[in-house]
Amino acid sequence: MAPTLVLASSSSYRRALLDKLGLDYICDRPDIDESSQENENADDLVKRLSLEKARAVATRHPNALIIGSDQVATLDDHILGKPLTHSRAIEQLSLTSGRTVKFLTGLCLLNANTGQYQLDTIEFDVVFRELTPKQIENYLIREKPYDCAGSFKSEGLGIALFRALQGDDPNSLIGLPLIRLVDMLQSEGLDVLAGD
């Protein structure tokens, strides 16, 4: 019998991405502290949080394959995070105007039965257009991306903020690197294309 697949997330964005693969899965909220640790760089942060999310959920699903993921946006090696408020989103988009922002998405696939896990970080760069204060304000009023790292939704109007996208998997920009996840699942014996 194939193990249950669990997405350790309450993110509607990650659920929508995982739905693309046509797999049966359940979601379970990890409820962990997502604060960064002292002197922790962005790569270490997203890897640690992805693994911690998977482990937190694994205690409730001991025979499952658990998917954990976390994402941050960085500018000049500083983490931008989720803005949460309108004023903070204005600040973030003003800072990123005309610049390149690096998104780091951590991905973990944990076999709760064996305790073995695969862990990776997928990078994706976004080159922003030069944005006027009015454009930023209009965008935020229309999309309200306050729960999104970097203050935008690339799957919506946010695409108009960009001059270029650079990376291997555009899904990673939304929060779940499906190309790498398919590889991880394959190594656990789950072939997404098998149709079983």
Known catalytic residues? 70
CA distance 174 to 185: 20
CA distance 116 to 3: 14
Strand, coil or helix: what is 6? strand
Instruction: Determine the Cα–Cα distance for residues 150 and 127; give it in Å rounded to an integer.
Output: 12
Residues 88, 101: contact at Cβ < 8 Å? Answer: no
Q: DSSP letters along 24-61, please?
A: --EE-------PPPTT--HHHHHHHHHHHHHHHHHTT-
